[in-house]
């Protein structure tokens, strides 16, 4: 224990130099914790959204449907397969869907969509789309209004069902937010004027307001002026079971928005029984079975079980259906190594430099210790412990500070509003809630100790090569 005590005291002989290194390590570890927290939060959010909004844990399709998405390529041996699914102990819920490619039209625009024919009540048990209805965006479909259609904010924009109007109500809301009177006066000129696209509205704002005014009030004006054309009719066109084009009319009941604009741009939801009236045959077509499990780790086991009774159907897990989320989830430990490894490498040079200076200043003292009998193993142990203490003090302070900051940001979130559209185009949320798992701190501690030991080798080697007689003659 004596050698530990000596090493700890030596650490504080030059307080200023030691504190500089400790502060550098602390800042480096805080940066690493925040960086990993943001990355972990993003990946967790992407994984959650991919499973609970888009693909669930397991999906089943007719193998031919995956190659050629024809309307008549439904799931084979449906009854036998669903009996097998319902008997799974891992099952949390399942839904069947009709899935048809179609063209959606309004009087002002058109776009390609995938129509999901669903049972709204059962769909709530497996997906969280019903939680994604935007403020002022209506409601989720129900059985009482079978001709309703749920579309996304992105699709509403493409079909010109998204508009901006400055009304008395909008101005009243802005007053409540204490927006300046001169800004409100400029808006009065555009009261009740309808802007059909976000681009037109943004252009008007740029012409009326300077950058400072837009930074202060632009987001609120845009948010309050947004108006969806709910209950508007959408005409959908697709081929029925005979290959004949058919058309149907649905009314917009709600607008949803997830963190993945690629999914939002195509997915619309209608009542499956209402959709069946259009394509004929009288029965609801099952193109897709989505299965939610109690534990995500059981996806591979469930796939293997269902593959034995699939008989012409393809059983796929979330890793195959959302490979981007799976790749980032599986390689998270690699990201840990990269982020913390770069930080540790940069800090190692500072630690080595500090310890070399310490050895240079204590040449005579080290020679004295050797002369009175301290062996080289103990000299090496002392220098290594000094380096480990120096690094660990900064690391503990950095991990604690980083954890506190991450906990706060994990509740408030970090909004990357400037890059929001870009992130959402890749399936990542614009607002991220950082989170750091306990295992990461264990990993950082191991990396810090390893870095300290490696950094101590050069200074220790220099000390061990000292000649006691020459060292004693040093001034």
- pLDDT tens digits, 108-120: 899 999 999 999 9
Contacts of 264 (CB under 8 A, 6+ apart): 152, 153, 154, 155, 256, 257, 258
Phi, psi of 127 (to 5 degrees): -115, 165
Mean pLDDT, the chain, whole residue set: 88
Query: For the CA atoms of 295, 299, 302, 308, what is the dihedral angle to 10 degrees?
Result: 180
DSSP, residue by residue, 2-54: HHHHHHHHHHTTTHHHHHHHHHHHHHHHHHHHHHHHHHHHHHHHHHHHIIIII
pLDDT value, residue 423: 72
Vertex 329: Cα angle to 326 and 331 (nearest 5) = 105
**440: Cβ–Cβ under 8 A, 6 or more apart, which residues?**
33, 36, 40, 336
Give Cβ neighbours of residue 206 (< 8 Å, ≥ 6 apart).
Answer: 214
Q: Where are the alpha helices (DSSP H) in 286-331?
A: 299-307, 318-321, 323-330
CA 455 to CA 453: how far, in whole Å? Answer: 5
**C-alpha–C-alpha distance, residues 127 and 393, integer Å:** 46
Average pLDDT over residues 200-218: 86
> Average pLDDT for residues 28-53, to the nearest whole number?
90
More confident: 341 or 2? 341
pLDDT over threshold 70, residue 167: yes
DSSP state letter for 191: B
Distance in angstroms (rounded) separating the CA atoms of residues 209 and 217 = 10
CA-to-CA distance for 229 and 234, rounded, in angstroms?
A: 11
| Boundaries of every domain in the chain | 1-49+325-472, 58-161+229-318, 162-228
Half-sphere exposure (CA, 13 Å, Cβ side) for 82? 13
Q: CA–CA separation, 93 vs 330, rounded Å?
A: 25
The more confidently predicted of residues 325 and 149 is 149
Highest mean pLDDT among 14-23, 136-145, 175-184, 296-305: 296-305
DSSP SS3 for 195: strand
145-164: per-residue pLDDT in tens?
Answer: 889 999 999 999 899 998 89
Instruction: Report long-range pairs for 412-416 (Cβ below 8 Å, ≥24 apart).
Output: 414/38
Beta bridge partners of 62: 313
In the chain, % helix, strand, coil (3-state, to 5) comes to: 60, 20, 25
Per-residue pLDDT, averaged over 208-231, amounts to: 87
Residue 342's CB is within 10 A of a number of other CB atoms, namely 13
Residue bearing the bigger pLDDT, 361 or 272: 272
For 367-396, how does the pLDDT look when each residue is reduced to its tens digit (9 = 90+)? 888 888 778 888 888 888 888 888 889 889
**Average pLDDT of span 174-196:** 86
Contact of 174 with 224, CB cutoff 8 Å: yes
Q: Which residues of 269-297 are buried (b: 16+ CB within 10 A; e: fewer)?
A: bbbbebbbebbeeeebbbbbbbbbbeebe
Residue 418: per-residue pLDDT: 66
Place of tokens 């200074």: 459
| DSSP three-state, residue 94 | strand
pLDDT of amino acid 417: 66
3-class secondary-structure state, position 116 = strand
């Amino acid at each position: 224990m004596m050698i530990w005590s000596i090493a700890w005291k030596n650490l504080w002989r030059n307080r200023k130099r030691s504190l500089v290194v400790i502060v550098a390590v602390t800042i480096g570890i805080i940066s690493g914790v925040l960086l990993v927290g943001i990355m972990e939060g993003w990946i967790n959010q992407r994984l959650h959204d991919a499973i609970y909004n888009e693909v669930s844990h397991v999906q089943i399709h007719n193998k031919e449907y995956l190659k050629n998405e024809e309307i008549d390529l439904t799931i084979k041996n449906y009854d036998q397969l669903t009996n097998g699914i319902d008997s799974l102990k891992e099952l949390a819920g399942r839904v069947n869907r009709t899935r048809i490619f179609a063209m959606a039209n309004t009087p002002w625009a058109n776009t390609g969509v995938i129509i999901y024919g669903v049972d709204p009540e059962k769909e709530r048990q497996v997906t969280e789309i019903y939680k994604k209805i935007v403020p002022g965006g209506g409601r989720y479909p129900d059985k009482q209004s079978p001709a309703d259609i749920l579309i996304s904010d992105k699709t509403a924009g493409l079909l010109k069902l998204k508009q901006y109007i400055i009304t008395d109500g909008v101005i009243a809301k802005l007053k409540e937010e204490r927006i300046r009177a001169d800004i409100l006066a400029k808006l009065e000129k555009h009261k009740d004027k309808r802007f059909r696209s976000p681009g037109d509205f943004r252009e008007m704002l740029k012409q009326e307001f300077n950058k400072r005014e837009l930074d202060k009030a632009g987001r609120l004006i845009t948010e309050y002026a947004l108006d969806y054309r709910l209950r508007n009719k959408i005409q959908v066109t697709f081929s029925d079971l005979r290959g004949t084009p058919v058309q149907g009319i649905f009314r917009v009941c709600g607008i949803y928005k997830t963190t993945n604009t690629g999914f939002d741009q195509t997915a619309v939801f209608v009542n499956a029984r209402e959709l069946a009236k259009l394509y004929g045959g009288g029965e609801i077509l099952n193109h897709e079975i989505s299965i939610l499990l109690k534990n995500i780790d059981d996806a591979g086991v469930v796939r293997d079980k269902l593959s034995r009774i699939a008989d012409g159907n393809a059983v796929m897990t979330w890793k195959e259906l959302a490979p981007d989320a799976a790749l980032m989830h599986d390689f998270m430990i690699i990201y840990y190594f990269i982020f913390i490894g770069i930080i540790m490498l940069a800090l190692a040079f500072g630690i080595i430099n500090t310890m070399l200076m310490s050895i240079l200043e204590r040449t005579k003292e080290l020679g004295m210790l050797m002369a009175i009998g301290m062996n080289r193993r103990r000299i090496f142990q002392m220098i290594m412990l000094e380096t480990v203490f120096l690094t660990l003090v900064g690391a503990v302070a950095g991990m604690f500070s980083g954890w506190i900051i991450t906990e706060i940001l994990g509740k408030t979130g970090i909004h990357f509003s400037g890059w929001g559209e870009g992130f959402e185009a890749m399936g990542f949320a614009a607002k991220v809630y950082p989170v750091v798992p306990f295992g990461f701190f264990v990993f950082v501690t191991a990396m810090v100790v390893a870095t300290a030991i490696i950094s101590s080798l050069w200074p220790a080697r220099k000390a061990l090569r000292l000649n006691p007689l020459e060292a004693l003659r040093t001034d």
